[in-house]
Structure 1
Amino acid sequence: MTTAHVSPTANLNPVAAGLTVAVLALNLRPAVTSMGVLLTRIDTAEGLSPPLAATLVALPTWCFAVGGWTAWRLRARFGIRAVVSSALGVLAVSLIVRTLPGDATIVAGTTAACLAIAVLGALLPVIVSTATPGSAACYTACLGTGSAVGALLTPTGVAWQLGLGCWALLAAVGLVVWQGSSRHLATPAGAALAARVSPQTLIPRGTIATLTVHFGLLSGVTFLLMGRLPTILRTAGLTQAEAGYHFATVMVLGVPASLVVPYLARRVPHAPLAVGFAGSSITGVTGLMISPLSVTWLWTGLLGIGIGALALALVDLGRRTHSDPDTTAALSSVVQGLGYTLAGVLALGVGLLQIATGTWTWPLFALVVALVGQALTGTTIGDVRAAPTSPEVSR
């Protein structure tokens, strides 16, 4: 079952398609990595309690779970154009809201921003699967670039509110670009047709469950590093400037790692790639746990390479469904929805473990265990399809 979502006009204009994918992908990470850069300053200025700080790190994954799980139904009911436009608008407004005074506004703004990002993230594989052939590389590269620019370009010499709020401009630019390019998107053949391919109709269940656990583990590790790595490095004895440098290194190295993923995914079996990315992260985390002040550049470099695992998992969603947009939307929702739920539990659990033990040794050991699980579940091979007699999902 397929539904055309990108018209031939869009396919004949690779520059416009690439620009659209790039701007949308760039909006998926700065809201998270900028929080990681400024979390210590926000804590100092606002007096955040340790549990609230841990919650802010885990919050994106829970929001991604809710938003990812509902994205397929929103697309089926309202169409991809309206849903993406609304998500970008909410993202821009919420990034301003979370800079207003009070703990409640920080939490509320971060929650709304992450829900919007979740919907965008779940629907981007659908857009990429029906766009030009080079869109997958553009998608993963800009996803990594968004992480890097959030780490590198977030202003730290000004008030933290400006450092967080400035990323609303990127969301506004994304909305303008999307409004201009989405007119080339064909109207779906019918919401009911798309709704028949729901997460409940996907098979085989074992493959989907393993993919979900794999995505949850790697997302939990990735977002913990985005939110906590500067704190981990400062606790180990690095200065704020040194910790910021190494954090930026991890995010920057994620860009070329993400860029080569689509190329490698077409030529190398999935299992060795997944195990290789997990192995790189295992070595990096182990190095930080055992000897954080010795060859720190090596440990953070390996972590930057390991971030490519997330790009591989996202690109793999479309490949496993043979680029069918309806099946891709359903698979993306279930894998990201339930996967990010697991990631949130992992992120909060590691944060609370650090609070309980007063050290990062045991939390980093927990990350190594999670990465071993990521490597094992990453060996799953198999395609996902909709059941041949899929009943229409009631709305």
Structure 2
Amino acid sequence: MSDEEVQILNRPQAARTASQQPLPAPATTPQPAWLGPVLLVGIVLAALNLRPAITSLGALFEETREGLGMSGTVAGLITSVPALCFAVFGVTAPRLSRRFGPAAVVCAGMAAVAAGLLIRPFATNAAGFLAASALTLAGIALTNVLLPVIVKRWFPDRVGTMTGLYSMALAAGTSLAAAATVPMTQALGGSWRTGLLVWGFLALAAVLPWLAIGAAARKEKAAASGVPAARPDAGPGVMRSRTAWALACYFGLQATGAYITMGWLPQIFRDAGVSASTAGVLLAVTMVMGVPLAFVIPGLAGRMKNQGPIAVGLGLFGLVGYLGLYFAPAGGAWAWALLLGVSNCAFPLVITMIGLRAKSPAGVVKLSAFAQSTGYLISIPGPLLIGTLYQHTGGWDLPLALMAGLLVPQIALGVLAGRDRTIEDECGMRD
């Protein structure tokens, strides 16, 4: 479940069927007075740490590649690892949550993020750097899935407010790391290792509140141990739905564009003559566009029966942005960064469509798991292919043509996924 998906799940859905089991009564154990404020701090700190591992590396990618002797292909593999980890480790989050509790898993996730970020600057080769990055990304994947669960569990009457809060914190962490990494590195002596290491201390700070939250959650779980667990609903067979496949492929292509942007956009600008610090700020501009649009797009899409026109509009913004990078990367750098930032807001659109393409909450969860896990797997080859093309052609003409070309099927899939229909109807399932 993604960061913004809880907004969709919280919307009124079709009535539950008679066959669905009711949720168990919540535990009546009184919560300590300190838990609410500590949860607030913990959620914000966790969200701040969900993207700096990726965008800080993007800002120092050239220095890191040279320092570790990475080829373009290996560098492309590094930019593909986030999608792979999100697909693989995100799937394990529900099972781990059922066994240990969501708070404990988020605590472990933040510890993994901190450990990976503190270890990887000391790597002496690409393999060690990749392993440490994978550890960090595994922790991010678990936290990505479970933060919405935490919000719904402890703030059931303030889901929208809390979701907006941590969504803004996530965007702030993303853009802060992109903009501040290069100047902070220069201020600390100029070593890329120091510039990456700093973000490990922010992640370490996020572990502390979750230790206390996890302890409180264990006590509450022990007090509620006699409450029977709800029987999970299997949900519809989404793999038989053409709309589900359209959503999964659309999710995969938008994720491909997002990770190529985070991993390679600063390098594109730097190769065009833009300074390293300005290239980091340009990436921050692209990322920060998601803050206001993440609130606007879901509301607009929810009022429309067909969301295809929004998918077309976002795709066209991306096409113009890539064409600009092809013809005048430095001259119109700020405009291209803004346009690509708008195009990357296909993420909140696809999350909204997931919520609209199923009739029941159980159907939404089933569809979301399928679309996101399949989509992240689809997105894995993209950054690797871009790195390989960049290495073998020595420039960005062919990679940029490929990026623009991928937007064509993305637009077509968005139109298919945006049609007013549900997976239950397509699969012949009851509501």
Structure 1 length normalisation: TM-score? Answer: 0.84
Query: How many angstroms apart in 2 are the aligned matches of 1:18 and 1:5?
Result: 24
How does 1:224-373 map onto structure 2 within 5 Å? 224-268=260-304, 270-314=307-351, 316-317=353-354, 324=361, 330-373=366-409
Instruction: Render the CA deviation track for 1:67-123: whole Å, top value 9, x for unaligned.
Output: 123323333443322322221111111111111231232111101111221122233
SS of alignment partner, residue 379 of structure 2 = helix
Query: How many angstroms apart in 2 are the aligned matches of 1:385 and 1:19?
Result: 40
Equivalent residue letter for 2:371: V
Q: Does 1:62 align with 2:84?
A: yes
Q: Does 1:146 align with 2:173?
A: yes
**Cα pair 2:248 2:372 within 8 Å, conserved:** yes
Query: How many angstroms apart in 1 are the aligned matches of 2:39 and 2:311?
Result: 28
Q: Does 1:163 align with 2:185?
A: no
Equivalent residue letter for 1:177: P
SS of alignment partner, residue 166 of structure 1 = helix
| CA distance 1:83–1:259, change in 2 (3 Å) | same
Q: Does 1:73 align with 2:73?
A: no
CA shift at 1:52, angstroms?
1.7
The corresponding residue for 2:109 is: 87
Structure 2 length normalisation: TM-score? Answer: 0.77
CA shift at 1:18, angstroms?
5.8
Query: How many angstroms apart in 1 are the aligned matches of 2:398 and 2:38?
Result: 48
**Cα pair 1:93 1:168 within 8 Å, conserved:** yes
Q: Which runs of 5+ in 2 are unaligned?
A: 1-19
Query: How many angstroms apart in 2 are the aligned matches of 1:284 and 1:46?
Result: 31
From 29, 34, 55, give the equivalent of 2:51. 29
SS of alignment partner, residue 102 of structure 1 = coil
Query: How many angstroms apart in 2 are the aligned matches of 1:4 and 1:378?
Result: 38
Q: Which has the larger radius of gyration?
A: 2
Query: How many angstroms apart in 2 are the aligned matches of 1:5 and 1:168?
Result: 39
CA shift at 1:40, angstroms?
1.0
CA shift at 1:184, angstroms?
6.5
**Cα pair 2:39 2:209 within 8 Å, conserved:** no
| CA distance 1:337–1:203, change in 2 (3 Å) | closer
The corresponding residue for 1:393 is: none
Equivalent residue letter for 2:319: I
Q: Does 1:108 align with 2:145?
A: no
Equivalent residue letter for 1:300: A
297-306 vs 169-178, greater mean Cα deviation: 169-178
SS of alignment partner, residue 133 of structure 1 = helix
Equivalent residue letter for 2:322: V
SS of alignment partner, residue 193 of structure 1 = coil
Q: Does 1:120 align with 2:143?
A: yes
Instruction: Render the CA deviation track for 1:344-365: whole Å, top value 9, x for unaligned.
Output: 1112122212222222111111
Query: How many angstroms apart in 1 are the aligned matches of 2:268 and 2:303?
Result: 37
362-371 vs 63-72, greater mean Cα deviation: 63-72
Equivalent residue letter for 1:193: R
Query: How many angstroms apart in 2 are the aligned matches of 1:224 and 1:327?
Result: 31
Query: How many angstroms apart in 1 are the aligned matches of 2:70 and 2:168?
Result: 34
Equivalent residue letter for 1:87: G
Q: Which runs of 5+ in 1 are unaligned?
A: 391-395
CA shift at 1:17, angstroms?
6.5
| CA distance 1:143–1:307, change in 2 (3 Å) | farther
CA shift at 1:316, angstroms?
4.9
Query: How many angstroms apart in 2 are the aligned matches of 1:266 and 1:17?
Result: 30
CA shift at 1:333, angstroms?
3.4
| CA distance 1:15–1:218, change in 2 (3 Å) | farther
**Cα pair 2:238 2:370 within 8 Å, conserved:** no
Query: How many angstroms apart in 1 are the aligned matches of 2:162 and 2:25?
Result: 15
SS of alignment partner, residue 48 of structure 1 = coil
| CA distance 1:389–1:374, change in 2 (3 Å) | closer
Query: How many angstroms apart in 2 are the aligned matches of 1:113 and 1:290?
Result: 37
| CA distance 1:175–1:313, change in 2 (3 Å) | farther
Equivalent residue letter for 1:364: L
Query: How many angstroms apart in 1 are the aligned matches of 2:260 and 2:337?
Result: 14
Instruction: Render the CA deviation track for 1:362-390: whole Å, top value 9, x for unaligned.
Output: 11111112222222222314455799999
CA shift at 1:197, angstroms?
3.7
297-306 vs 156-165, greater mean Cα deviation: 156-165
The corresponding residue for 1:176 is: 208
